[in-house]
């Protein structure tokens, strides 16, 4: 079984990451900040102006460890790509499935189903924990509506219908989102999901978490030898990691959304952790970003039950497990792709 | 698993000092230094065997001494540390 290895996040401006024998050394202003064996790292994520030596990039690309560069707001900029490896027959099957409308639709339906189901679990839990009975009722109504959409999804066999139902579910879900926020509801109102740029703290927090999650899903797809760009639910577009985005969908509610809500409700993130940029874009501050990464990494260590594997798995490995299940389905070893459901 | 590696390398000769540097570097490749000749390494079975093989290839078994101990996990419940500490848990979030 795969081990959950750590990710090194370098946010210090001007830091230099270099290879020293079998270790990674991070230096800034001539002083050593950290030295960690390569074998402990699954990847490095660099924010803004961070230098990585060619030796580190080559070594990591060779081992299929990831090196990802994000800009100083946490948006994806680049990643280091090693030689194309993995099973060519598996990739062939991946392309064949993408060409087949029926196979694509079946996978997309499973993913959207998982996403909606996970969103329902999240709302259900919030409904149980809400003392205000009117709010609890609104949340339960939303849960019921999502159940209705799931029911209609069962009969959907056309990709555009599936995408439409996903959009409808997302609007309904984000429409009730604010009721799950218990603290500073004014400051952290979502007011509908918006990106590029996010214009309020809640959207900024979600965007940042989704970026981290997408990086993990790209690595997970690469890890099992799948092409991260050929997806089923997301339309193909040059440079877009469609398959990784597919894998992200079912993880959003239970991994990212749940964490975002917990951060606010437990007052681990406050309004001070966000900064407004000229033009009205809102982003996490340097300190806020560190807090969120710490919380995210801790969340990844948590063990959860995986119904298909019938065992406990750290949350951080779920993208890898799902990528593996998808690969098994594409190869024909599994009749259906089974999304991950988390209660 | 958590392994403590402790060694004595005879540094009377230039060859000995070279062995000392090499042994320390091998330990660094697998873990971190907690005292001058004491390292803690988080490894799996295969990595442990690699570590031992590399160390035994380096030391002079007539001159030096090498000892490895396994710590009962969780480490923080079975490890007592006092005085100057510059130990980092590589399993914790690594953010710089």
Residue the block writes with tokens 């803004």: A48
**Span A287-313, pLDDT tens digits:** 888 888 889 888 888 888 888 878 788
**Span A175-198, pLDDT tens digits:** 888 888 887 777 777 776 777 778
Q: Does B76 show up as a binding residue in the annotation?
A: no
Confidence label for B81 from pLDDT (cuts 50, 70 and 90):
confident
Strand pairing of A76-79 and A66-70? antiparallel
Q: Which residues of A touch B94 (CB under 8 A)?
A: 6-9, 34, 36
* In chain B, % of residues over pLDDT 90: 41
**Span A200-215, pLDDT tens digits:** 888 888 989 998 899 8
Q: Which residues of A touch B47 (CB under 8 A)?
A: 39
* Nearest chain A CA: its distance from B96 CA (Å): 5
Extract the tokens encoding A177. Answer: 């989102």
Q: Is the pLDDT of residue A324 over 60?
A: yes
Q: Is the pLDDT of residue A4 over 80?
A: no
Residue the block writes with tokens 């990739």: A91
Q: Looking at residue A175, what is its pLDDT?
A: 86
Q: Looking at residue A93, what is its pLDDT?
A: 87
Give the mean model confidence (pLDDT) for residues A94-103.
89
Cβ contact B94–A39 (<8 Å):
no
Extract the tokens encoding A36. Answer: 């960690």
Q: What are phi and psi of A88, to 5 degrees?
A: -65, -30
Q: Looking at residue A52, what is its pLDDT?
A: 93
Distance linking the first and last C-alpha atoms of chain B: 26
Confidence label for A86 from pLDDT (cuts 50, 70 and 90):
low
**Span A104-148, pLDDT tens digits:** 999 999 999 999 999 999 898 888 888 888 888 888 888 888 888
d(Cα A129, Cα B63) in Å, to the nearest integer? Answer: 67
Q: Is the pLDDT of residue A247 over 90?
A: yes
Confidence label for B54 from pLDDT (cuts 50, 70 and 90):
very high
Q: Is the pLDDT of residue B49 over 90?
A: yes
Give the mean model confidence (pLDDT) for residues A46-74.
85
Confidence label for A245 from pLDDT (cuts 50, 70 and 90):
very high
Q: Looking at residue A73, what is its pLDDT?
A: 67
Confidence label for A58 from pLDDT (cuts 50, 70 and 90):
very high
Q: Looking at residue A200, what is its pLDDT?
A: 83
Strands (E), chain A: 6-10, 16-20, 23-28, 31-37, 41-47, 51-52, 66-70, 76-79, 274-276, 282-284, 303-306, 311-314
Q: Looking at residue B90, what is its pLDDT?
A: 78
Task: Determine the residue of chain B that is closest to A17 in CA distance.
Answer: B96
* In chain A, % of residues over pLDDT 70: 96
Least confident of A159-163, A295-299, B90-94: B90-94
Q: Looking at residue B3, what is its pLDDT?
A: 92
Give the mean model confidence (pLDDT) for residues A32-48.
87
The 3 state secondary structure assigned to chain B is: CEEEEEEECCCCCHHHHHHHHHHHHHHHHHEEEEECCEEEEECCHHHHHHHHHHHHHHCCCCCCEEEEEEECCCHHHHCCCCCCCCCCCCCCCEEC
Q: Which of B29, B32, B93 sits opposite A22 (nearest CB)?
A: B29
How high does pLDDT run on average in chain A?
Answer: 85
Q: Is the pLDDT of residue B56 over 60?
A: yes
Cβ contact B96–A22 (<8 Å):
no
Q: What is the DSSP letter of A81?
A: -
Give the mean model confidence (pLDDT) for residues A9-23.
89
Q: Looking at residue A2, what is its pLDDT?
A: 58
Extract the tokens encoding B44. Answer: 């799996």
Q: Is the pLDDT of residue A84 over 70?
A: no
Q: Is the pLDDT of residue A149 over 70?
A: yes
Q: Which of A3, A26, A298 sits opposite B93 (nearest CB)?
A: A298
* Nearest chain A CA: its distance from B66 CA (Å): 21
Q: Which residues of B touch A298 (CB under 8 A)?
A: 93
Annotated binding site of A for Mn(2+): 166, 234, 249
d(Cα A28, Cα A13) in Å, to the nearest integer? Answer: 8
* A residues 2-61 lying closer than 8 A (beta carbon) to B: 3, 6-12, 15, 21-23, 26, 28, 33-40
Q: Looking at residue A301, what is its pLDDT?
A: 80
Q: What are phi and psi of A232, to 5 degrees?
A: -120, -40
3-state secondary structure of A279: coil
């Amino acid at each position: 079984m795969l081990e959950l290895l750590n990710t090194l996040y370098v946010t210090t401006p001007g830091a230099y990451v270099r290879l020293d024998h079998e270790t990674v050394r991070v230096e800034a202003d001539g002083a050593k900040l950290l030295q960690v064996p390569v074998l402990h790292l699954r990847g490095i994520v660099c924010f803004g102006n961070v230098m990585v030596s060619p030796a580190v990039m080559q070594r990591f690309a060779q081992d299929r460890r990831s090196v990802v560069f994000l800009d100083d707001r946490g948006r994806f900029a680049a990643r280091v790509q090693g030689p194309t490896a993995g099973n060519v027959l598996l990739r062939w099957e991946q392309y064949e499935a993408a060409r087949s409308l029926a196979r694509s639709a079946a996978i997309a339906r499973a993913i959207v189903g998982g996403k909606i189901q996970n969103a329902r679990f999240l709302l259900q839990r919030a409904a149980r924990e809400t003392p205000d009975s009117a709010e609890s009722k609104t949340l339960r109504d939303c849960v019921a509506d999502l159940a209705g959409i799931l029911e209609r999804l069962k009969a959907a066999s056309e990709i555009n219908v599936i995408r439409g139902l996903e959009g409808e579910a997302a609007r309904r879900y984000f429409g009730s989102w604010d009721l799950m926020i218990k603290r500073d509801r004014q400051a952290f109102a979502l007011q509908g999901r918006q990106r590029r740029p996010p214009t309020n703290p809640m959207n900024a927090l979600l965007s940042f978490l989704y970026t981290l999650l997408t990086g993990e899903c790209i690595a997970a797809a690469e890890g099992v030898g799948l092409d991260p760009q050929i997806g089923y639910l997301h339309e193909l577009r040059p440079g877009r990691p469609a398959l990784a985005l597919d894998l992200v969908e079912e993880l959003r509610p239970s991994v990212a959304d749940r964490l975002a809500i917990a951060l606010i409700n437990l007052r681990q993130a406050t309004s001070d952790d966000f900064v407004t940029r000229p033009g009205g874009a809102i982003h996490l501050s340097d300190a806020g970003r560190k807090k969120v990464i710490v919380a995210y990494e801790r969340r990844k260590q948590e063990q959860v039950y995986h119904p298909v594997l019938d065992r406990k798995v750290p949350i951080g490995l779920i993208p890898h497990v799902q990528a593996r299940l998808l690969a098994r389905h594409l190869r024909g070893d599994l009749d259906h792709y089974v999304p991950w459901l988390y209660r | 698993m958590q392994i403590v590696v402790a060694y004595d390398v005879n540094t009377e000769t230039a060859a000995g000092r070279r062995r000392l540097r090499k042994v320390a570097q091998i330990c660094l490749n697998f873990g971190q230094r907690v005292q001058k000749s004491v390292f803690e390494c988080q490894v799996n079975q295969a990595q442990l065997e690699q570590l031992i093989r590399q160390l035994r290839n380096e030391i002079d078994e007539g001159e030096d001494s090498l000892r490895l101990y396994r710590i009962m996990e969780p480490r923080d419940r079975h490890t007592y540390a006092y005085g100057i500490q510059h130990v980092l848990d590589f399993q914790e979030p690594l953010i710089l």
